[in-house]
Amino acid sequence: MPASPRWSGSQRRIGLTGGIASGKSTVARWLEQQGLPVLDADVYAREALAPGTAGAAAVLARYGERVRAECTQPENSVIDRGALGQIVFNAPPERAWLERLVHPLVRARFEAELARVEGEPAVVLVIPLLFEAGLEGLCSEVWLVDCEPEQQLQRLMQRDGLHEAAAAARINAQWPLERKRPLADQVIDNRTDPSQLPARLSRLLKTSALDG
């Protein structure tokens, strides 16, 4: 049984998590196609560092020109996310600093969006660092998209055009999937052909966390 308490209100809140490049986006798109509102932590994290935000200003104050994207405007506050990633994924103290900056902003955005969709019978919360950030309490149930570490590595290298060391650094910045599996209410096997996912997901949508 999961150790952390879950959301216990009347709304079904599906927390969707997994390792980087495990297939969360594929699952989220399918759920959105079924009419469920999808709230995405990655989207909110990007918005937290958008030009002109306090988050972007804090990042630029800490790292300066190393993370400023090239732009013709001298007042440019656009963050070069690739450069920022090179820093934080290779220096755990810097990653921890960035998470302390961004995580509260993301959590606040989730609270606002959940209030906006409170009339919906079910909603999906896509949170890659759900367990790491201790956000289980936002969800009535947690679905983990699962695959092999070698698949994660190959998918991430192909998806983002990263060399092996850079991809491995991003994977290692998260808890391994084997640590997350026992904490999830449902584990979605994404080791094989993605065309097999819809049938599995259809069954899960008809099954509550308690029934699973």
Structure confidence at residue 168 as a pLDDT band (50, 70, 90): very high
pTM of the entire predicted model: 0.89
CA distances from 148 to 23, 25, 27, 152, 176 (A): 11, 17, 17, 6, 10
Encode pLDDT of 98-147 as tens digits. 999 999 999 999 999 999 999 999 999 999 999 999 999 999 999 999 99
Structure confidence at residue 194 as a pLDDT band (50, 70, 90): confident
Residue 210 has pLDDT above 60, yes or no: no
Encode pLDDT of 62-100 as tens digits. 999 999 998 746 567 899 999 999 999 999 999 999 999
Return the domain boundaries, the chain: 6-37+117-212, 46-104
Structure confidence at residue 204 as a pLDDT band (50, 70, 90): very high
Task: Report the pLDDT value the prediction gives residue 54, as an integer from 0 to 100.
Answer: 94
Q: Tell me the average pLDDT across 156-183.
A: 93
Residue 132, classed as helix, strand or coil, is coil
**Burial level of 95, CB count in 10 A (0-12/13-18/19+)?**
middle
Residue appearing with tokens 């910045």:
173
Task: Report the pLDDT value the prediction gives residue 212, as an integer from 0 to 100.
Answer: 43
Task: Report the pLDDT value the prediction gives residue 155, as an integer from 0 to 100.
Answer: 93
How many other CB atoms are found less than 10 A from the CB of residue 55? 19
Radius of gyration of the chain (CA): 18
13 and 121 in contact (C-beta within 8 Å)?
A: no
| CATH pick for 6-37+117-212 out of 3.20.20.140, 3.90.79.10, 3.40.50.620, 3.40.50.300 | 3.40.50.300
Structure confidence at residue 211 as a pLDDT band (50, 70, 90): very low
Residues of the chain with pLDDT > 70: what percent? 93
